[in-house]
Amino acid sequence: MMTHLAFVFGLLGNIVSFMVYLAPVPTFYKIYKKKSTEGFQSVPYVVGLFSAMLWIYYAFLKPDTTLLITINSVGCFIQTFYICFFLFYATKKAKMDTVKLLLSMNVVGLGLIILLTQFFSKGSNRAQIVGWICLIFSFCVFVAPLGVLRQVIRTKSVEYMPFQLSFFLTLSAVMWFFYGLLRKDYNIAIPNVLGFSLGVIQMTLYLIYKNVKKVNKEVKLEITEIVVDEELKLSEEILKEQIIDVVKLSAMVCSEIIPMVTAHDLKNEINLPQLNVIINEDMIIKPKAII
CA distances in angstroms from 54 to 51, 81, 102, 168, 221, listed in the order given:
5, 18, 14, 21, 50
Q: Is 103 helix (H, G, I), strand (E, B) or coil?
A: helix
pLDDT score at 254: 44
Q: What is the pTM of this model?
A: 0.66
pLDDT digits (tens, 9 = 90+) for 135-187: 888 887 777 667 777 778 888 777 767 677 778 888 889 999 999 999 989 88
Paired with 276 in beta bridges are: 288
**What is the C-alpha separation between 45 and 86, in angstroms, rounded?**
9
DSSP alpha helices (H): ranges in the chain? 2-22, 25-34, 43-60, 66-89, 92-102, 110-120, 123-143, 146-155, 163-182, 186-209, 212-257, 263-267
Query: Can you give the C-alpha Rg of the chain in angstroms?
Result: 40
Closest by CA position to 266, among listed 240, 245, 285 = 285
Q: Is 109 helix (H, G, I), strand (E, B) or coil?
A: helix
Burial code (b: 16+ CB inside 10 Å, e: under 16) for 139-151 equals: eebbeebeebeeb
Half-sphere exposure of 19 (CA within 13 A, CB side): 17
Mean pLDDT by 10 residues, the chain (291 residues): 86 91 84 83 87 93 90 94 91 90 92 92 86 88 72 77 77 92 90 87 84 54 52 56 48 45 48 45 46 43
Which amino acid appears at position 265 of this protein? D
pLDDT score at 226: 54
pLDDT score at 160: 65
Which amino acid appears at position 186 of this protein? Y
pLDDT score at 207: 85
CB atoms within 10 A of CB 189: 18
Contact between residue 262 and residue 285 where contact means Cβ atoms under 8 Å apart: yes
CB atoms within 10 A of CB 127: 20
pLDDT score at 77: 95
Contact between residue 202 and residue 145 where contact means Cβ atoms under 8 Å apart: yes
- For the CA atoms of 103, 106, 109, 111, the dihedral, rounded to the nearest 10 degrees, stands at -110
